[in-house]
Amino acid sequence: MATSNDIKNGAVLKLEGQLWSTLEFQHVKPGKGGAFIRTKLKNITSGKVVDKTFNAGAKVEFATVDRSDYQYLYQDGDDFVFMDLRDYDQINVPASVVGDAANYLLESAEATIAMHEGTPLYVELPPSVVLEITQTDPGLQGDRSKAGTKPATVETGAEIQVPLFVEQGTKVKVDTRNGDYLGRVND
C-alpha cells in the first residue's frame, strides 16, 4: 500500500469503496506541526469534486486504471459500442458513463476509455472535433443582440452557439470539454 506522499495529479485513489481522481495536490509543511497533503478530488462515477487533506505518510490505496484507445462504432439502445484498436474486441459502454461526450461522438471517432477491473469509468475525447452544422437560422445583418452568436445544431444532434456568419452545411471545430465554437474548417 502506498502513502499520501505518492499522490500526483491524475492518480486514482480508492477511498471508502469509491474511486476518486486527483485534480490537484499540494504538499504543505507548516512551521509548526506535521506536514500534510491538501488535495482536490473528483468522484469518477458521480463527478462530485471535494477537498480532502491527508497527513503526510498516511496510507492510501491507489486504484489501477487502464487507459486504452478505442474507436466508436455505433449506439445499441442505451449503450455505445466501442472497438479496442489493439485487439479489435468490442465493448459496450453505458450512456451514463459516456455522458456529455455523446454530443461529439461520430461513427469511427477515436476516444480513450479508462477501465478499472473491466468496468468502463469514463470516455475521454480529443480536445476538439470537426462537426458539420445541420441546422441553423440565417444570420441577420446588424442583429447583435446576442453578442453576434446564434444557436446551431451539429450532425450529432448537439446544439452549440456559433457566430452569425456560419451557415448550414459549414464544418466547424468544436471544443469537446465545453461545446465552444473554435472556428470554421475548410475541406
Per-residue model confidence as pLDDT tens digits over 168-182: 888 999 988 888 888
Q: Where are the domains of the chain?
A: 2-62, 66-124, 128-184
Residue 121 has pLDDT above 90, yes or no: no
Q: Are 11 and 22 contacting, i.e. CB atoms less than 8 angstroms apart?
A: yes
Give the pLDDT mean for 54-77.
89
By percentage, how much of the chain surpasses pLDDT 90? 19
Q: Do residues 156 and 125 make contact, with C-beta atoms less than 8 angstroms apart?
A: no
| pTM of the full structure | 0.72
Cα Rg, the chain, nearest whole Å: 21
Q: What is the mean pLDDT of residues 97-106?
A: 86
Residues composing the chain: 187
pLDDT at residue 91, rounded to an integer: 92
Fold designation for 2-62: SH3 type barrels. (2.30.30)
* Confidence bin at 12 (pLDDT 50/70/90): confident
Residue 146, CA atoms < 13 Å, CB-side half-sphere: 9
Task: List, for residues 131-159, the tens digit of each pLDDT value.
Answer: 999 998 886 665 555 567 888 999 988 89
Cell 462515477 sits at which residue?
45
Q: Considering only the top CATH level, what class is 128-184?
A: mainly beta
- The CATH code belonging to domain 66-124 is 2.40.50.140
Check if 66-124 and 128-184 are the same fold: yes
What local confidence, expressed as pLDDT, does residue 185 receive?
85
Mean pLDDT to the nearest integer, 116-123: 85
Tell me, what's the pLDDT at 82?
94
Residue 6 has phi, psi (to 5 degrees) of -90, 0
